[in-house]
Structure 1
């Protein structure tokens, strides 16, 4: 049996530096992981990209492919977008797809691919009313958004909600959420 494929997407926020541990945890749970990053996130991890590609067995992607290029990833069974910054959440909710991972996540809504996200924003961004609008929009379109007390708490948390995020992805795959 082929393992389910998890697209793990990340924006440039501090929890991104835990991505290798998240990949290993997902793989230990039986996932085939493909890592996609926003351009800034790829810049943050530039020295680790080759190692992350080896770890996942797939190229790390941060740009759209050319129409003439083959898709080098298997199809996604579930997408986990974490951390997702203020910009990524708002762009995604509005359908603004300049970044590869935001575009794939937006398209996943239309394709019915189960999707989970964990917003990671500063306390100031958390008070901006557009965040709640965007979170509400994504939820209305079927995205599981881990936002609030049981998820990333702006500027207060040293714990990252990776266990909860991976658990939500498992539940979405099983059709439980």
Structure 2
């Protein structure tokens, strides 16, 4: 079974993460869930249940030195919803958060990755955002752009199925 690291930031679609995990599992993925620190706070009451659902601990922080790895190696990574903060940190190589550190390293390891930005229109117009998207694309990350990007208020329209299909296609091609 292939392992999908599902990394989610603090945007409204994160509240649908259990359903997305179930969809990914139905597609044949062994899912490991990683969250940004704010997303972990938002889902604090659900973390134990999400760990049971995935069969792996939910991670949002780096392990201490000497602690063993608790997840299998990633076959692919989906970063969704990817916030303005996460996209820019990733592109700039600022790895003070676990999720960003793993995806930054994933570029160097050649792990197939899909990112689905979810931010408001004002953030999308910030000049650094477009530079960051281009940096990630230049590094081989498939950045899925569209309605989910400005859909922070409408989580039901977030393109989860499209994102999961894009990951599957990347792994099949790779």
Report TM bin, short chain. over 0.9
TM score, norm. by length of structure 2: 0.96
1:8 shift after superposition: 0.1
For 2:50, the equivalent position in structure 1 comes to 52
- 2:123 maps to 1:128: no
Q: Aligned to 1:41, which of 39, 50, 57? A: 39
Alpha-carbon distance in 1 for matches of 2:15, 2:101: 23
Q: Aligned to 1:152, which of 146, 149, 160? A: 149
Alpha-carbon distance in 1 for matches of 2:123, 2:103: 21
For 2:100, the equivalent position in structure 1 comes to 102
TM score, norm. by length of structure 1: 0.94
Name the SS for the 2:45 alignment partner.
coil
| CA RMSD, 1 decimal | 1.2
Alpha-carbon distance in 2 for matches of 1:139, 1:34: 24
For 1:174, the equivalent position in structure 2 comes to 172
Unmatched tracts of structure 1, length 5 or more: none
Q: What are the equivalent positions in structure 2 for 1:4-153 lying under 5 Å apart?
A: 4-149=2-147, 151-153=148-150
Name the SS for the 1:68 alignment partner.
coil
Alpha-carbon distance in 2 for matches of 1:63, 1:155: 24
Would you tell me which structure has more helix in proportion to its own residues?
2
Q: How many residues get paired? A: 173
Summarize the Cα distance change of 1:175–1:121 in structure 2 as closer, same or farther, 3 Å threshold.
same
Name the SS for the 1:74 alignment partner.
coil
